[in-house]
Each structure stands twice: as structure tokens, then as C-alpha cells.
Amino acid sequence: MNHTTSHPAVETIAWQGDESGHLVLIDQTRLPLELVTLECRDVETVWEAIKMLRVRGAPAIGIAAAYGVVVGIRDMGDDPAELASRFDEVATYLATSRPTAVNLFWALSRMRDVFASLAGKPNDEIRSRLLAEAKAIHDEDRQMCRNIGRHGAELLGPSIKGVLTHCNAGGLATAEYGTALSVFFTAQDLGRELHVYVDETRPLLQGARLTAWELMQRNIPATLICDSMAAQVMREGRVQAVVTGADRIAANGDTANKIGTYSLAILARHHNIPFYIAAPSSTFDLSITSGSEIPIEQRQPDEITRGFGKQTAPEGVTVYNPAFDVTPASLITAIITERGVIDPVNQDAVARHLG
């Protein structure tokens, strides 16, 4: 049974034109009250959009960065040495925008590999091939999200009526269906009726501003809660599964995601509720053996003291604002990727899954 959906007419990420074109993004800092697009005609605008969370979510960041490379070199002339220098400058610059999301570095690495393979080719051909690679990354993510949803929906049996999610891992964070939300969207496509509890996700409220908006666009029943209410919601028996996305996964299955995810995993274990991570295989960083090695981005104090422009804390108070935390593999029931399900979650299972 197919359900009628009401997606926004504007794509989260879109490329306009040929290799001389530009990138268009939904400015997610303006949601849910305004649906505004941002035209990125230079690499500085792409960098700022990633840094300031106008585009966010690990897969979407990777896609935007790949297109950002094309934007950054589009006005170069025919001199191969100048193009090579500019390409390296642009790719290095974009890598400084967000330190935790591994998809950023994965996408830039793919663009570097393509560039290296085209040594000696005319600059026009190089630009054309780089745009084709960026579009391939975009299209692959769209298909990966659909596959994640298909594998994840199989885990949500008939006994699961209520689910809980954190931050935003939907179409706004990816190319289309998302990762965690793809599980819910696919369940809806299959005729399943789920009620989704949405953590508001302090301090930037991605759950309240973005996830609740996406679920309402799809006519999926959604209830918004403060992050600190999750334990009570679990104790009351309102949720039978937790599904979140991920920004980086270590070789042993330890997973970095938006701050507050670790707390949910502990609460889920206490209440005997399965805790699932949904993420594409590109989110795994096998060079990192455990979560202790994952760099955690520290963000500005005013996100907490002056959230959305209103001062809510004493002037001069000390602030600690890590954007992510790490959930140990031992607390994760399974990891859902486009290839299938990793269960149990440990180093051997991850290696077999990705091998």
C-alpha cells in the first residue's frame, strides 16, 4: 500500500547547470518557519554553509563538499599547474569545515582520486569529470538511503508501534530518504503505522526544527519531546525501538552521533529497548580502532547561552559545548547500512560486513 506524501518541492541539495553552474541548498537554519534556498557560487559560500549547519548531516555534508570542489575550480583557465594548485587548495579548505563527519573526508578523497587519474587531460574535461563524480556521489547516496530503509524496516516488527529518534537523519541530512528516517519512511510505504517520538536535540533543536517538520511532511504521527523526557517516555512504554543516524563509526562499531545519543543508548539498555544505528557504509572509518580516537567538534558557547538570539544564561558563564558524543558498540543492538544489518556489533562483524 502506497501512501500519498507531500515532499517539499525544493531538493535539499541540487546542482544547477553544467560544470560552470552552481550549487543550491536548502538553508536549514531557516526551517521550519521558512523554506529558503541558498545559491553557492563560490567555495567560501559552500564552506560557510557546512560550518554554520545550513547544510548538515554527514551524507549531505559529503555531497555538498563534492559539489563545492566543482564550484571552487569552475573559473580556472587552461593552465594545468594552476588548476592542480587550485584544486588542492579548495579540497584542503573544504576539509576544515567540520572535523567529525567522516563523509566529508570520504567525498573529498573520491574527488582527489578522480583528479589524480586525469593528469594530463584538458582542464575542461577534468572539470566535467569532477562534476560527474559529484553527481555520482549524490545518486549513490539516494540509492543507499532507500536500501538502508528497506533493511531497517525489516527490524521493526508488528509489535513495534512507537519509536524514538534523535537529531535529524532524514532527507535534509542526505540526498533523499535519509538514514534513520528512511527506516520510518519505508515502513510507511509498506503500510506500517508508527508513532515517532522526536527528541528536540539541544542546543540547536535539529529534532524540533527539522525532523518533526520532515515527519509532518510525510503525514507520519510525530510527538516532540525535550531530550530529558526520553527516560520517562521509555518507562511509560511508549517506544519499543530507538533509531538514530551516525556521523562516524570506528572499526569496532563505536559510533559518534549528535550529542545526547549516548544518553539514549544507556536509557534504552536500562529499559530493554533495542537501539539501532542507521548509516551508510561510507560513515565507517576503519583507520580508527575505537571511538576514543574520534575527534569531537567543540562549538561556540553562544549556541547555549544565546540560543537563537535570546540570552538564557548569565554573562561570562563558562560553557562546554561538544557537538557529538560516542556510543560504545556494546550498547548498540545493530547497525543498519545499505548492505544489510550488522548484528552483533563488534570489530569482526564490522570487518565481515564491509569486506
With a pLDDT cut of 70, the percent of the chain lying above it is 97
Rounded distance, CA 76 to CA 349, Å? Answer: 46
Alpha carbon 22 to its chain centroid, in Å, reads 22
Domain boundary among 107, 123, 145: 145
The mean pLDDT of 120-143, rounded to a whole number, is: 96
Question: Cell digits for 73?
Answer: 575550480
Kindly indicate the confidence band of residue 174, based on its pLDDT and cuts at 50, 70 and 90.
Answer: confident
| Contact indicator for 155, 341 with CB cutoff of 8 Å | yes
Examine residue 139 and state whether it is found in any structural domain, yes or no: yes
pTM: 0.87
Domain boundary among 118, 145, 172: 145
Examine residue 268 and state whether it is found in any structural domain, yes or no: yes
Same domain, 156 and 287: yes
Say what the pLDDT of residue 155 is: 97
Kindly indicate the confidence band of residue 10, based on its pLDDT and cuts at 50, 70 and 90.
Answer: low
Burial of 318 (0-12, 13-18, 19+ CB in 10 A): exposed
- Say if residue 50's pLDDT is above 80: yes
Instruction: Output the CA torsion sign for 239, 240, 245, 250.
Output: positive
Examine residue 347 and state whether it is found in any structural domain, yes or no: yes
Rounded distance, CA 34 to CA 38, Å? Answer: 12
The mean pLDDT of 4-22, rounded to a whole number, is: 77
Same domain, 129 and 222: no
Examine residue 2 and state whether it is found in any structural domain, yes or no: no
Amino acid identity of residue 6, one-letter, is S
Rounded distance, CA 11 to CA 104, Å? Answer: 20
> Is residue 93 helix, strand or coil?
helix
Concatenate the DSSP letters of all residues of 286-302 into one string.
TT--SGGGS---B--TH
Examine residue 292 and state whether it is found in any structural domain, yes or no: yes
Same domain, 68 and 193: no
Same domain, 282 and 330: yes
Question: Cell digits for 127?
Answer: 572539470
Rounded distance, CA 330 to CA 179, Å? Answer: 21
Say what the pLDDT of residue 99 is: 86
Same domain, 221 and 281: yes
Same domain, 140 and 230: no
Same domain, 196 and 94: no
CATH number of the structural domain spanning residue 193:
3.40.50.10470
Same domain, 72 and 104: yes
- Say if residue 4's pLDDT is above 50: no
Comparing CA positions, the residue from 113, 29, 108, 13 lying closest to residue 303 is 29
CATH number of the structural domain spanning residue 97:
1.20.120.420
- If one counts the domains in the chain, the total is 2
Non-local CB neighbours of 9 within 8 Å, separated by 6+ positions: none
Question: Cell digits for 114?
Answer: 578522480
Examine residue 250 and state whether it is found in any structural domain, yes or no: yes
Same domain, 174 and 40: no
Same domain, 171 and 114: no
Rounded distance, CA 172 to CA 179, Å? Answer: 10
Say what the pLDDT of residue 167 is: 97
Say what the pLDDT of residue 72 is: 97
The mean pLDDT of 132-140, rounded to a whole number, is: 96
Domain boundary among 110, 145, 180: 145
Rounded distance, CA 128 to CA 136, Å? Answer: 12
Comparing CA positions, the residue from 37, 57, 103 lying closest to residue 210 is 57
Rounded distance, CA 235 to CA 328, Å? Answer: 22
> Is residue 320 helix, strand or coil?
coil
Examine residue 6 and state whether it is found in any structural domain, yes or no: no
Same domain, 74 and 201: no
Non-local CB neighbours of 300 within 8 Å, separated by 6+ positions: 321
Question: Catalytic residue numbers?
Answer: 247
Neighbouring C-alpha atoms within 13 Å toward the C-beta of 335: 36
- Range(s) of the domain holding residue 60: 13-145
Neighbours of 76 (CB within 10 A): 18
Examine residue 31 and state whether it is found in any structural domain, yes or no: yes
Rounded distance, CA 138 to CA 191, Å? Answer: 28
Same domain, 212 and 340: yes
| Contact indicator for 201, 57 with CB cutoff of 8 Å | no
